[in-house]
């Protein structure tokens, strides 16, 4: 066991996977010699050579397109999209190619690729370094979508993703890279070294894709969250003293519907939280499922707390980011309904 | 403001529209045998002129001439002729089947048979093509069963794709034929990735990407050239310039560049332009490029100059956008007739044998069609199961899809 940041955890996942399977290759913009702009691939080129970890041209459609071809050959590419905001040029390759190759060829060809991409806000990244495009992936059949919230999960889930036979979108909340950020930007950051989920085994382990985790047991209201918002929700529960049950989805697709339904059936109340914009966000799917499966147990309307339906602003970041105060107000609202 | 200050937009137009006299005077056709054959390790900058010429082997008298000639035996050429005739007969039957409502859609190869049929023979078993919808010759020339192609076209109970894909979007890993997407240009960069993987694994297999003149305008085309150039991927990048992208003439995609082959020059990729209706020239150029790739010398870009004689698909009528007689005016002739003439000149073939072969091949295609139709056609007979809609989205069916399948009653 070692204390790791989320950066070290995803690096360790790639390291372990590359050591176990010679078909695992890692590439992307700046990931080779330099080790990535967030340093997630630092040292991998030195350890595994330039043909297994290398720099790519600034061409996301090229990165994903070549990864698909490599997967068709039999490799297991784990590529980095430098920011989730940069994935759009590759969207055609992701949605119409990677996601459908197994289906359209009836398994004659498959596409076991992982696209890692830093996601979400909280770093003053403005419109082009803060987006949360997960719903653009969950809407595409054939993809799996993962958003880890801590180093332990990040490593176990990334190894699972690399070993998965289908394409996996692996969104890494960049504000969590160095610590469990709870939305209190005015306070010093707690490092992962002081958090129990910073305890990460150095070797191989996996976490199943499609299983949620309850981060806080509670009986008053269920909060469904993922990524950075898990920590924001935990802070909001403490600050409002509302006995919230906080579910960390970890996988958005496949979704652990059972855990959500069990919890909401028990609490009768539900708040869904994500950083992404509101309209047609993944929260809409979650609320819809809660309504379909828990309607007769609900004591209050299900509430969403999300980013506003605007582009992600720069200077006004903390008025955009759904912090603990906004989540807390939503908790109070559903309790009073 | 004077006239000199006013801008105007240039929108290219083809030389002739319906009602006009077909005119290919702008297509400069060099004499067969006149283009030199460089060594495969030539520096790309030393053969820049090859991107602006046309490599041709068969002359007007049906003789094979020049430095690109002499690679194929009588038996190999007879096999090539047979493949092209088979593809043509297959197309004729499937077009008819579409009109009879046995399938929803079809795309034929008329006039372009030499490109995919000859190319396939320059590859080895294990190499991988990333084709578009007009390279079925890659399958025919590799002896892929016609019945399987028809099962796919008819979306019947034996369709290898279980009814999920549009007609002609074949797949066969075994025959080096990557699943056709139907989206344009996406597979071009995937071919480069496959080739990179082969190089990463120190394998000896190579890849071939396919694209049409129109879709070279897609950004994936340019991504493919960057990656192929940067990593010197063992890939052959084929551009089939059949002059027409549905109704859009090739000048709209080509822009101010002289040729499509010239696109390779800026990337330092050797670029060849070849007579796409000349079986011998296509084979010779493909073999040159394959040898370069296999010797780890990197990618080659090839533009096949050809003409799409038929419609783009069964969904358009070419007489609405080009003169009806344009295909007859096409200066590079018909690939089947040219190879036939060459084989007669060689003394290996005759008009009688050709007529006999035509009848035999058509009979073979009809027999295959009968076998396929036993398993159903789009609206009659055996069909893929409704269960097949839900299978194969993932290796393992996730719970939400299982629930939906149950809801559908399966």
Taking only the tens place, the pLDDT of each residue in B100-156 is: 999 999 999 999 999 999 999 999 999 999 999 999 999 999 999 999 999 999 999
Give pLDDT, residue B81. Answer: 98
Among B362, B314, B379, B367, residue whose Cα is nearest residue B98: B314
User: Is the pLDDT at B1 greater than 80, yes or no?
Assistant: no
Of B162, B183, B196, the CB nearest to A70: B196
- Residue B256 pLDDT level (bands cut at 50, 70, 90): confident
Contact A230, A175 (CB under 8 A): no
Chain A nearest C-alpha distance from B227 (Å): 7
Distances (CA, A) of A331 to A79, A303, A309: 38, 9, 21
- Residue B5 pLDDT level (bands cut at 50, 70, 90): confident
Chain A residues with CB under 8 Å of B172 CB are 108
| A105 touches B at CB < 8 Å | yes
Residue A206 has φ and ψ, to the nearest 5°, of: -130, 155
Paired strand residues for A216 = A246
Of A25, A73, A144, the CB nearest to B198: A73
Chain A contacts in chain B segment 190-209 (CB below 8 A): 190-201, 207
Q: What is the ipTM of this complex?
A: 0.97
User: Is the pLDDT at B191 greater than 90, yes or no?
Assistant: yes
Integer Cα distance of B35 and B53 in angstroms: 7
Residues B271-293, mean pLDDT to the nearest whole number? 98
- Residue B355 pLDDT level (bands cut at 50, 70, 90): very high
Residues B320-333, mean pLDDT to the nearest whole number? 95
Contact B263, B301 (CB under 8 A): yes
| A140 touches B at CB < 8 Å | no
* Residues of A acting as catalytic residues: 129
How many residues does the structure list for chain B?
410
| A208 touches B at CB < 8 Å | no
User: Is the pLDDT at B189 greater than 90, yes or no?
Assistant: yes
- pTM (two decimals): 0.97
The reply to whether residue A106 touches residue B223, judged by beta carbons under 8 angstroms, is no
Buried b (16+ CB within 10 A) or exposed e, B362-388: beebeebbeebbebbbbeeeebbeeeb
| A76 touches B at CB < 8 Å | no
User: Is the pLDDT at B18 greater than 90, yes or no?
Assistant: yes
Chain A nearest C-alpha distance from B332 (Å): 35
| A101 touches B at CB < 8 Å | yes
Question: For A99-112, how does the pLDDT look when each residue is reduced to its tens digit (9 = 90+)?
Answer: 999 999 999 999 99
| Residues with pLDDT less than 50, chain A | none
């Amino acid at each position: 066991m070692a204390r790791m940041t989320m950066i070290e955890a995803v690096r360790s996942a790639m390291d372990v996977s590359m050591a176990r399977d010679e078909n695992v290759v890692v590439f992307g913009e700046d990931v080779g010699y330099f080790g990535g702009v967030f340093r997630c691939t630092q040292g991998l080129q030195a350890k595994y050579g330039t043909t297994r970890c290398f720099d790519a041209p600034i061409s996301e459609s090229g990165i994903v397109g070549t990864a698909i071809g490599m997967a068709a050959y039999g490799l297991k590419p784990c590529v980095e999209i430098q920011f989730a905001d940069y994935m759009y040029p590759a969207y055609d390759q992701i949605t119409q190619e990677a996601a459908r190759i197994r289906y359209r060829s009836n398994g004659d060809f498959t596409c076991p690729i992982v696209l890692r991409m830093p996601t979400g806000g909280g770093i003053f990244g403005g419109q082009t370094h803060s987006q949360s495009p997960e719903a653009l992936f969950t809407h595409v059949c054939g993809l799996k979508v993962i958003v880890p919230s801590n180093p332990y999960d990040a490593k176990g889930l990334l190894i699972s993703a690399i070993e998965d036979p289908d394409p996996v979108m692996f969104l890494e909340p960049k504000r969590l890279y160095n610590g469990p950020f709870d939305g209190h930007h005015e306070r010093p950051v707690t490092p992962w070294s002081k958090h129990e989920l910073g305890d990460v085994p150095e070797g191989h382990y996996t976490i199943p894709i499609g299983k949620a985790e309850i981060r806080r047991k509670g009986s008053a209201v269920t909060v469904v969250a993922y990524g950075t918002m898990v920590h924001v929700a935990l802070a909001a529960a403490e600050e409002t003293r509302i006995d919230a049950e906080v579910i960390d989805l970890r996988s958005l697709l496949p979704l652990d519907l059972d855990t959500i339904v069990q919890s909401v059936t028990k609490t009768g109340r539900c708040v869904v939280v994500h950083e992404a914009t509101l309209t047609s966000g993944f929260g809409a799917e979650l609320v819809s499922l809660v309504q379909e499966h828990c309607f007769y147990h609900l004591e209050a309307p299900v509430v969403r707390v999300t980013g506003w339906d605007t582009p992600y602003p720069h200077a006004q970041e903390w008025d955009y980011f759904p912090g603990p105060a906004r989540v807390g107000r939503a908790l109070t609202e559903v309790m009073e309904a | 403001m004077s006239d000199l200050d006013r801008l105007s937009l240039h929108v290219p137009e083809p030389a002739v529209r319906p009602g006009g006299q077909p005119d290919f005077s702008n297509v400069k056709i060099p004499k067969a045998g006149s283009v030199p054959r460089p060594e495969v390790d030539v520096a790309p900058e030393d053969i820049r002129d090859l991107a602006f010429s046309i490599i041709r082997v068969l002359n007007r008298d049906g003789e094979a001439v020049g430095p690109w000639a002499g690679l194929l035996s009588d038996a190999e050429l007879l096999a090539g002729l047979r493949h092209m005739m088979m593809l043509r007969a297959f197309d004729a039957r499937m077009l008819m089947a579409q009109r009879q409502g046995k399938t929803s859609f079809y795309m034929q190869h008329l006039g372009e048979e030499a490109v995919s049929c000859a190319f396939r023979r320059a590859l080895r078993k294990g190499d991988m093509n990333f084709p578009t919808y007009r390279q079925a010759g890659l399958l025919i020339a590799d002896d892929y069963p016609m019945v399987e192609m028809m099962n796919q076209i008819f979306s019947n109970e034996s369709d290898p794709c279980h009814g999920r894909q549009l007609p002609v979007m074949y797949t066969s890993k075994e025959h080096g034929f990557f699943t056709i997407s139907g989206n344009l240009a996406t597979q071009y960069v995937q071919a480069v990735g496959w080739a990179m993987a082969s190089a990463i694994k120190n394998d000896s297999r190579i890849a071939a990407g396919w694209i049409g003149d129109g879709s070279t305008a897609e950004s994936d085309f340019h991504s493919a050239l960057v990656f192929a150039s940067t990593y010197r991927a063992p890939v052959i990048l084929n551009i089939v310039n059949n002059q027409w992208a549905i109704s859009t003439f090739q000048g709209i995609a080509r822009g101010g560049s002289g040729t499509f082959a010239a696109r390779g020059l800026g990337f330092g990729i050797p670029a060849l332009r070849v007579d796409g209706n000349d079986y011998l020239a296509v084979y010779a150029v493909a073999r040159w490029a394959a040898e370069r790739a296999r010797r780890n010398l990197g990618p080659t870009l090839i533009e096949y100059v050809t003409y799409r004689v038929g419609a783009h698909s069964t969904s358009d009528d070419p007489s609405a956008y080009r003169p009806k007689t344009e295909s007859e005016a096409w200066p590079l002739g018909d690939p089947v007739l040219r190879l036939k003439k060459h084989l007669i000149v060689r003394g290996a073939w005759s008009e009688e044998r050709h007529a006999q072969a035509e009848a035999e091949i058509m009979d073979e295609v009809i027999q295959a069609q009968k076998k396929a139709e036993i398993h159903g056609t789009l609206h009659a007979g055996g069909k893929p199961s409704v269960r097949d809609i839900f299978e194969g989205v993932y290796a393992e069916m996730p719970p939400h899809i299982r629930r939906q399948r149950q809801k559908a009653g399966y």
